[in-house]
Every structure is written in C-alpha cells, then in structure tokens.
Structure 1
Amino acid sequence: MRYIVVGAGAVGGTIGARLHQGGHDVLLIARGAHYEALKRDGLRLITPESSETLRIPAADGPVPTRDDDVLILATKSQDTIAALAPWPSHLPVVCAQNGVANERMVLRRFEHVYGMCVWLPAQHLEPGVVAAHGYPYSGMLHVGRYPQGVDDLSAQIVTDLGKRGLVGRAAADVMRWKYGKLLGNLANAVEALAGRTSDNGAVAERARAEARTVLERAGIAYSTPSEEAEIRGHQVDVRPIEGVERGGGSSWQSLARSSGSIEADYLNGEIVLLGRLHGVPTPVNEVLRREADRFAREKQPPGSMPLETLVALIDERCAA
C-alpha cells in the first residue's frame, strides 16, 4: 500500500515521515519552495529526540496512481476541494484535518472516506523542515470510516501508523472525537487574533460554552476533555526542541505565513452554521470567525489585536 500525503506541511509531513520510517511506501505532495526543498534535500524532521533528513519521494501535483494508493489529506479545510480535484475518485481518502465538514465534502465525490482526529503538535518551520513537539510519540491519530465504523482498511491504517513514532487508534465513532477536537480548536482564532496570553482563556471558554449549547441542541455527540486526557495520558506531551521556538497553532501559523486564508470558517464558522440551523445564537463564534477571516484577508500579523478590543467586539455583538 502506498500513502500519498496531500499537503505535506506540519501535520502531513510528520505523518508521512513517520510512515516512511515505519517502512511504508510514501509520496509527499507539496507546492512551491517546499516541494523544491523536498525534491532537492529531502524532508528534515526535528523532534525533541532527534533531527533526521528523510529521502521521501515528492511531487508537486497528481501522479499516475495505483490500485493500492491511499490519499491522506492534510491541507487546511478551505483547500480541500481544490487539493482533491485532480485525484481519481475511486481512491480512499483519509481526512487528517481539523473541523468536521471535510468528510462530508469529500464524500460527494469519493466513495471511500475516513475521518482522522489529529492530536499532533507540529509546525512547518521552513521549506523542507518540519518540527514535531510530541513526546514520546509525535501524535495520536483516531481513524474510522465516515460516517461510522471500522473496516479492514481503517484497521490497516491504524496498524501502519503505530509502527514508528505515532499512536494509531481505531475509532468507529471517529466523528465524535472530531467534534470534541472542534471544541478545543475554537480557541485557535482567539490565539491567532490576540496572541497566546493567560488572559485569553476566558474568551475561548465563552466560545466553547456557546458551542456546547449548539451541539446539544443539534443532538451531536462529542468527546470530553476528560476522555481525551485519559486516552492520551502522557503519550503525546509537548516538549521543547533545542533551537526551535514553538509558535502558535494552525490558525496562528496561517497568519504568520500571510497565506491569505484561515480555517475559521470551518471551526468557529461550523458552530455559527449549526446555531443558525437549530435556532441558537452564536455571537462569540461569529465575531471570532469574522475577525479571523478579516485578519487573513488583510494579512495582519498574528496576535496583533489587543484582547480588550476583541472582548469589546464580542460584547457588542452579544448585546445587539
């Protein structure tokens, strides 16, 4: 079986590197300077324990496919449709992404779709270089068939992930875990806008409380922080890496790269959508979605909005 990692950045690069180290056939799909570096020098994976350059095949677009290919989609959610457009629809797709909308989008065209709940603290440092901060394992990955179940392929993927540096878990209810992860990811926009401070936790909790009300009204099950802590234990602790300054999360990194887009529509925006469908006001998540989108569009630097300004915007919206 060959794993084609579409979007070989922080998460995709780490997953691809670990699968390669486990002896599996891997192809990394990347663009621009990152692709050129992968092709020329290989992928450098830095962890709390080591730094290793891996000669993993790379391409900057679709390649002739094989019957045993599996696509691991690790792009941002806003890039899902464009990233998969060139690939044959008979291939299985594993959505290794934040949010809960990707699997449904992909299922419109691809018959075999799998969810992956990703707990993997990593960052894309520069072209060809990825840092994975998890220790003793780089990440824990729940995998299951979408919308429900575990089949032979998902079980094989879990086995393959577990061969080197990752913990794979088969999860028939993978979307329940992804909804739980979504609740945590609502704080991404707060960090991206106002930076990582001890004071922004109150805003993040307001967004999560709003979201829990929405999910319960919608009848959507989600994993809890206590469940997640029990399963994870100390298998994926975040450790410093000498010489590597740890930046913010995925949304913070999008602003830092001035990419022009951000995942907020599929994180905070998912709660706004569900709130509108089920008649639940979601002013906190609406402001976070709106302002994160504006920052991305205007290429504002991460953490440049005073927290007081963000709180005032939220309070104004709540009072409207």
Structure 2
Amino acid sequence: MRYIVIGAGAVGGTIGARLYQGGHDVVLIARGAHYEALRRDGLRLITPESSETLDIPAADGPVPTRDDDVLILATKSQDTIAALAPWPADLPVVCAQNGVDNERTVLRRFEHVYGMCVWLPAQHLEPGVVAAHAYPNSGMLHVGRYPQGVDDLTEQIVNDLGKRGLVARTSPDVMRWKYGKLIGNLANAVDALIGSGPGAAALIDRVKAEAETVLDRAGIPYSTAQDETEARGHLVDVRPIEGVTRGGGSSWQSLARGSGSIEADYLNGEIVLLGRQHGVPTPANEVLRREANRFAAEKLPPRSMPLETLVALIDERSAAGSR
C-alpha cells in the first residue's frame, strides 16, 4: 500500500516521515519553497531524540495513482476542496485534520472516507523541515470509517501507522474523539491572537463552556478531557528540542507564516454554526472566529492583540445578543 500525504506540513510531514521510517511507500505533496526543499534535500524530521533527513519522494501536484493508494489529507480545512479536486474519487481518503466538517465534505465526492483524530504537537516554519515535539511517540492517532465503524482498511492503516514513532488506534466512534478535539482546538484562536498570558485561561474556559453547551443541546457526543488523558497517558509527552524554539499551535503558525488564511471558520465557526442551528448564543466563539480571520487577512503578527481588547469585544457581542 502506498500513502500519498496531501499537505506535508507539521502534521502531514510527521505522519509521512514516520510511515516512511516504518518501511512504507510514501509520496509527500507540498507546494512552493517547501516542495523545492523536499525535492532537493529531502525532509528533515527533528524530534526530542534525533534529527534525520529522509529522502521521501515529493511532488507539487497529482502523481499517477495506483489501486493500492491511500490519500492522507493533512491540509487546513479551508483548503480541503481544492486539495482533493485533482485526485480520483475512487481512492480512500483519511482526513488527518482538525475540525469535524472535512469528512462530510469529502464524502460528497469520495465513497471511502476515514476520520483521524490527531494529537501530534509539531511545527513547520522552515521549508523542508518539520519539528515533532513529543516523546516517546510523535503522536497519537485515532482512525475510523466515516461516519462510523471500522473495516479491514482501517485495521491496516492503524497497523502501518503504529510501526514507527506513532501510536495508532482503531475507533469506530472516531467522530466522538474529533468533537472532543474540536473543543480543545477552540483555544487555537486565543493562542494566535493573545498568547497564553494572564487571563487567557479564563477566556479559554468561557469558549469551551459555550461549545459544550452547544454540543449537549445538539445531542452530539464528544470525548472528555479525562478520556483524552487516559488514552494518551505518557505516550505522547511534549519535550524540548535542543536548538528549536517551540512556537504556538496551528493557528499561530498560520499567522506567523503570513499565509493569509486561518482555520477559525472550521473550529470556532463550527460552534457558531451549531449555536445558530440550535438557538444557543456563542459570542466568544463568534468574536474569535471573526478576529482570527481579520488577523489572517491583514497579515497581522500573532499574539499582538491585548487581552483586554479581545474580552471587551466578546462582552460587547454578548450584550448585543442579549438585547
């Protein structure tokens, strides 16, 4: 079986590298300077225990496909449709992405769709280089068929992922894990806008409380923080990497790279959507979605909004909604 990783950034690059180290055929799909670096020099994977350059085949667009290909989609959610457009619809697709909308979107065109809940603290800020910050494994991946269930391909994917540097588990209820991860990912916009200074924790609690109220009203099951702690244990612990400064999460990285887009519509915006559908106010997530998108569009530096400004905007939106 060959794995084609579409979006070989922090998550995709790490997954592709670990599959390659496990002896599997892998192709990395990347763009621009990152693709050029991969093609010329290979992928440099830096972890707390090693630094290795891997000569993984790379391309900047579709490659001739085989019957045994599996697409691993690791782009940001806003890029899903464009990223998959050139690929044959009879190939299985694994959505290794944050949020919960990708699988449903992909299922409109692709028959065989799999969800992957990704816990993998990594960053990609330099062409050709990915730093994966966890030890003794780079990440934990729950995989299941969408909308639910496990099949033979799920079992093989999980077996392949688990051969080197990753913990992988079959999950017939993979979307429950992904909704739980969504709640945690709502803090990405807080990190991107203001960082983790005093007061950020209280704001994050407010944002997550909105989400739990919405999901409970909608009757959508989600994994809890306790579920995640028990599943992870000390299998994926963040450790320092000598010579590498760990930045923020994926949304912080989008602003730091000046990419011009951010994933907030599919994280905080998912809660806003569900809130509107079920009559639950979501002022904190509304403001975070809006401001994160503004920062991305205007290419403002990450963590440059004062906490007081963000809280005032949320309070203003909350007061307007109650009138």
TM-score, normalised relative to structure 1:
0.99
Q: Secondary structure at the match of 1:305?
A: coil
What amino acid is aligned across from residue 159 of structure 1 in structure 2?
A: N
Report if aligned partners of 2:125, 2:253 keep a CA contact under 8 Å in 1. no
Aligned partners of 1:153, 1:30: CA distance in 2, in Å? Answer: 25
What amino acid is aligned across from residue 210 of structure 1 in structure 2?
A: E
Aligned partners of 2:198, 2:54: CA distance in 1, in Å? Answer: 38
Mapping 1:119-268, distance limit 5 Å: 119-268=119-268
Q: What do residues 239-292 of structure 1 show as CA deviations (whole Å, max 9, x unaligned)?
A: 000000000000000000010000000000000000011111111100000000
Deviation at 1:199, TM superposition (A): 2.3
Report if aligned partners of 1:70, 1:93 keep a CA contact under 8 Å in 2. yes
Partner of 1:42: 42
Deviation at 1:198, TM superposition (A): 4.0
Partner of 2:283: 283
Q: What do residues 37-96 of structure 1 show as CA deviations (whole Å, max 9, x unaligned)?
A: 000000000000000000000000001100000000000000000000000000000000
Partner of 1:273: 273
Partner of 2:26: 26
Q: What do residues 5-39 of structure 1 show as CA deviations (whole Å, max 9, x unaligned)?
A: 00000000000000000000000000000000000
What amino acid is aligned across from residue 75 of structure 1 in structure 2?
A: T
Deviation at 1:202, TM superposition (A): 0.8
Aligned partners of 1:12, 1:246: CA distance in 2, in Å? Answer: 18
Partner of 1:68: 68
Deviation at 1:195, TM superposition (A): 1.5
Aligned partners of 2:258, 2:196: CA distance in 1, in Å? Answer: 18
What amino acid is aligned across from residue 144 of structure 2 in structure 1?
A: G
Report if aligned partners of 1:6, 1:28 keep a CA contact under 8 Å in 2. yes
- Does 1:86 find its partner at 2:86? yes
What amino acid is aligned across from residue 186 of structure 1 in structure 2?
A: L
Aligned partners of 1:199, 1:278: CA distance in 2, in Å? Answer: 29
Q: For structure 1, which segment, 105-114 or 199-208, has the greater mean C-alpha deviation from structure 2 after superposition?
A: 199-208
What amino acid is aligned across from residue 94 of structure 1 in structure 2?
A: V
Report if aligned partners of 1:14, 1:132 keep a CA contact under 8 Å in 2. yes
Aligned partners of 1:125, 1:270: CA distance in 2, in Å? Answer: 27
Q: Secondary structure at the match of 2:49?
A: coil
Report if aligned partners of 1:196, 1:248 keep a CA contact under 8 Å in 2. no
Aligned partners of 1:196, 1:131: CA distance in 2, in Å? Answer: 21
Q: Secondary structure at the match of 1:125?
A: strand
What amino acid is aligned across from residue 129 of structure 2 in structure 1?
A: V
Deviation at 1:125, TM superposition (A): 3.0
What amino acid is aligned across from residue 243 of structure 2 in structure 1?
A: G
Aligned partners of 2:138, 2:230: CA distance in 1, in Å? Answer: 17
Report if aligned partners of 2:41, 2:128 keep a CA contact under 8 Å in 1. yes
Partner of 1:100: 100
Q: Secondary structure at the match of 2:287?
A: helix
Aligned partners of 1:260, 1:129: CA distance in 2, in Å? Answer: 21
Aligned partners of 1:146, 1:277: CA distance in 2, in Å? Answer: 23
Deviation at 1:197, TM superposition (A): 1.9
Aligned partners of 1:195, 1:212: CA distance in 2, in Å? Answer: 23
Aligned partners of 2:215, 2:141: CA distance in 1, in Å? Answer: 23
In structure 1, list runs of 5 or more residues that go unmatched: none
Q: Secondary structure at the match of 2:141?
A: strand
Mapping 1:107-122, distance limit 5 Å: 107-122=107-122
Aligned partners of 1:142, 1:201: CA distance in 2, in Å? Answer: 27
Partner of 1:77: 77
Aligned partners of 1:144, 1:286: CA distance in 2, in Å? Answer: 30
User: Aligned residue pairs: how many?
Assistant: 320
- Does 1:12 find its partner at 2:16? no
Partner of 2:308: 308
Report if aligned partners of 2:259, 2:296 keep a CA contact under 8 Å in 1. yes
Aligned partners of 2:11, 2:222: CA distance in 1, in Å? Answer: 23
Partner of 1:56: 56
> Could you say what the CA RMSD is over the residues aligned between the two structures, in angstroms?
0.5
Report if aligned partners of 1:115, 1:143 keep a CA contact under 8 Å in 2. yes
Deviation at 1:196, TM superposition (A): 2.4
Aligned partners of 2:214, 2:37: CA distance in 1, in Å? Answer: 44
Q: Percent identity?
A: 84
Aligned partners of 1:120, 1:169: CA distance in 2, in Å? Answer: 14
